[in-house]
């Protein structure tokens, strides 16, 4: 087992919670911390879920308030008057895009990690199922890693265990880690704030559901063969 310490950027959703258990498996209990962000997101209940899971698995947890994101941008996650678009125009980002979100999250996480003498940052970004969010791409993560190192004269290692995973593979990873039931019933991915399977209508629920169905299909094929 790796003896380094890690800080997980944890929202309470499927991807970040899977990453939390990935980090616990890789670095061990006592070596993993978690950080969440309150940016007036419409599904802010995800933070309560993250806290409960952290408490249960003895992971130190802190929340940073970043209300300025909502004040500076106009998107469906921070503006309650905007409706989440289920079908975005071709070539356009979804209206749930919060500009600069991961850049800010990683910056604040890096500052906090340095105070804890932690070098590893774990984030659940995925280029495979990135939904048009430019700050989930691998090139952005690599660039930000270099920038943070230079900014704070400190060697960070941004780990993205889901970068090349589609949602079915994320489900498979949670099964491998022995936490698929937790991920399925206790995480909050839904933009409308409904735990587990969610509302079934928003883009996040659609992506999660399709991934789960594909995971079940692949699992059935493995049994048959």
Q: Please state the pTM of the whole predicted model.
A: 0.94
Which of 15-19, 66-70, 86-90, 198-202 ranks highest by mean pLDDT?
Answer: 15-19
pLDDT above 90 coverage of the chain, percent: 72
Contact 161, 138 (CB under 8 A): no
Contact of 126 with 88, CB cutoff 8 Å: no
For residue 10, the SS3 value is coil
CATH topology (fold) of 6-166: Rossmann fold (3.40.50)
Taking alpha carbons only, the member of 158, 119, 114 closest to residue 136 is 158
> Is the Cβ–Cβ distance between 57 and 30 less than 8 Å?
no
Q: What residues contact residue 205 under an 8 Å CB cut-off, 6+ apart?
A: 189, 190, 191, 197, 198, 199
* pLDDT digit string, tens, across residues 45-97: 999 999 999 999 999 999 999 988 877 888 888 888 888 887 766 667 788 88
Instruction: Report pLDDT digits (tens) over 142-190.
Output: 999 999 999 999 999 999 999 999 999 999 999 999 999 999 999 999 9
Strand 32-38 relative to strand 6-9: parallel, antiparallel, unpaired?
parallel
pLDDT of amino acid 6: 98
The percentage of the chain sitting over the pLDDT mark of 70, rounded to a whole number, equals 95
Select from 165, 125, 128, 130 the least CA-distant residue to 143: 125
């Amino acid at each position: 087992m790796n003896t380094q310490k890690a800080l997980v950027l944890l929202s309470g959703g499927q991807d970040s919670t899977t990453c939390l258990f990935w980090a616990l498996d890789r670095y061990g209990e006592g070596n993993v911390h978690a950080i969440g962000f309150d940016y007036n997101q419409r599904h802010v209940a995800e933070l309560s879920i993250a806290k409960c899971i952290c408490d249960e698995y003895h992971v130190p947890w802190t929340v940073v308030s970043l209300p300025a994101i909502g004040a500076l941008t106009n998107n469906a996650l921070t503006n309650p008057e905007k409706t989440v678009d289920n079908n975005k125009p071709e070539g356009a980002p979804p209206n749930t895009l919060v500009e600069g979100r991961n850049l800010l999250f990683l910056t604040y996480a890096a500052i906090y990690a340095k105070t804890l003498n932690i070098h590893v940052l774990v984030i659940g970004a995925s280029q495979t199922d990135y939904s048009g969010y430019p700050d989930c791409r691998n090139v952005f993560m690599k660039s930000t890693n270099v920038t943070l190192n230079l900014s704070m004269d400190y060697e960070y290692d941004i780990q993205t265990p889901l970068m090349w995973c589609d949602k079915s593979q994320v489900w498979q990873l949670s099964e491998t880690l022995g936490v698929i039931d937790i991920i399925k019933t206790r995480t909050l991915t839904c933009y409308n704030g409904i735990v587990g399977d969610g509302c079934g209508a928003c883009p996040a629920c659609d992506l999660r559901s399709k991934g789960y169905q594909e995971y079940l299909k692949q699992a059935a094929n493995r049994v048959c063969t």
